[in-house]
Structure 1
Amino acid sequence: MRIEDSFLLHASKEDIWNLFMNVEKLGSCVPGCENVKALSPTEYTAKMEVKVQFMKFNYEAKGKMKNIVENESIEVEMNGKPLSSLAGPFQNNILIKLEEVEPRKVKIHYIMDAQAEGKLASLGDVLMKGSIQKTADQFSENVQKLFVGENV
């Protein structure tokens, strides 16, 4: 399933980039993401809870940042291993681009290609897209809150 969208952040491009490169701090903005641990500057692990409608799925996730163009773009490859037999694994590839619209106003463009197996996949694209969009909206709100008090 492919999802493409964007959102605005009111902060400097450099500050936003620095946040995106700090996986522990950025992970705190992702709904359902806990225990983010950096394994290297470009690799990390996390526990994730994925909510789709009335169901919850728990995963051990591994992520890797690649094709990094400083202050411009980054690709993230994430794989999730289910912590219960009800869910199947997932893979998520995300391309993120930062576009400075004006000083302290940056548009974050993203293209997400998500694939899931098992019960999570059986819920269908309509439910999955709705849940992913809700999570993306919460993520952008959480990131913006970090910049409101300039506590990044």
Structure 2
Amino acid sequence: MKIEGEHLFNGPRQDVWDMIQDPVVLASAVPGMDKLDKVSETEYQGKMNIRIGPVSGAFDGKLTMQNPVPPESTTLLVEGKGAPGFVKGAGNAQFIEQGPEQTVLKYDADLSIGGTLASVGQRMIDSVAKSMMRTAFETLDAALAARLAAKAAGKATEEVEYKQASESDYAKAVAKDAMGGLTSSAEGKLVIYIIPMIVVVIVLAVLLSRCSG
């Protein structure tokens, strides 16, 4: 499945790039994220729990960055598997400067879902995926603002405390999206946040998504 999207960050490109390299920030942006480790400069491994209607369970995943050109672009490879099924895909992400203080994240990817997860209704997957993306980007926006404030105050970004994307806020977003009758592409967006990237970005992610700008 082919997906694409974009998100505007209110911060310089280098700061946005640095933020998405921080596993603590990425983990805070994903509801259900139990663990996310940066095992090398180009690889992350994580574990998260996800629930979509009657399907729930834990996923173990890996995100690999290929051909990164800091702070401009990267190619992303994602793999994840667990009781609910599997996800797999590849995508590209770019961070594009919009003046000195804004950055647009653009992403596109080819992704697939298999196993029990693939049997969930399209509308349900779509609503959950959209909710995960919005919740993640809202959390990343807040994290970026906190990092920029710390930087302006002469503090290290390691001192910043990040607000974890809450399950309650995520549940509210799911309910709102379900009532809204969303019709955007679901599978790829879901993958981006099952296997956190870019912030996949988002998805996005992942979408999933997660660079040039």
User: Counterpart of 2:142?
Assistant: 145
The 3 A distance-change label for structure 1 pair 33 and 94 is: farther
1:55 matched residue in structure 2: 55
Per the TM alignment, residue 3 of structure 1 is displaced from its structure 2 partner at its CA by 2.1
CA-atom RMSD, angstroms?
A: 1.9
Cα displacement string for residues 7-65 of structure 1 (whole angstroms, at most 9, x for unaligned residues): 11111110001112223432322232221112111112110223324532311111111
- CA displacement 1:59-95 (0-9 Å, x = unmatched): 111111112111111122111120x3xx222113232
Higher strand share: 1
CA distance in 2, matches of 1:129, 1:94: 19
Query: Which residue of structure 2 lines up, in the alignment, with residue 65 of structure 1?
Result: 65
TM-score, normalised to structure 2's length?
A: 0.63
Q: Choose from 85, 88, 108 the match for 1:88.
A: 85
**Structure 1 pair 93/131, CA: closer, same or farther in 2 (3 Å)?**
farther
**Given the superposition, is the C-alpha separation of residues 129 and 101 from structure 1 closer, same or farther in structure 2, using an over 3 Å criterion?**
same
Name the counterpart of 2:21: 21
5 Å-filtered alignment, 1:97-136, equals 97-136=94-133
Return the letter of the residue paired with 1:79.
E
After superposition, the Cα gap between the structure-2 partners of 1:50 and 1:93, relative to the gap in structure 1 and judged at 3 Å, is: farther
Q: Secondary structure at the match of 1:129?
A: helix
Q: Gaps (5+ residues) in structure 1?
A: none
Matched residue type, 1:15: D
Mapped partners of 1:9, 1:142: distance in 2 = 11
Conservation of the 8 A alpha-carbon contact between 1:28 and 1:34 = no
- Length-normalised TM-score, structure 1: 0.86
Q: Report deviation, 1:124.
A: 4.3
Per the alignment, residue 34 of structure 1 pairs with: 34
SS at match of 1:48: strand
The structure with more helix, counted as a fraction of residues: 2
Q: Tell me, what secondary structure is at the counterpart of 1:19?
A: helix
Quick one: distance in 2 between partners of 1:92 and 1:31? 21
SS of the equivalent of 1:138 reads helix
Greater displacement, 9-18 / 100-109: 100-109
Gaps of 5+ in 2: 151-156, 158-213
Aligned AA (2:13): K
How many corresponding residue pairs? 149
From the superposition, tell whether residues 50 and 3 of structure 1 become closer, same or farther in structure 2 (CA, over 3 Å): farther
> Separation in 2 of the partners of 1:53 and 1:112?
25
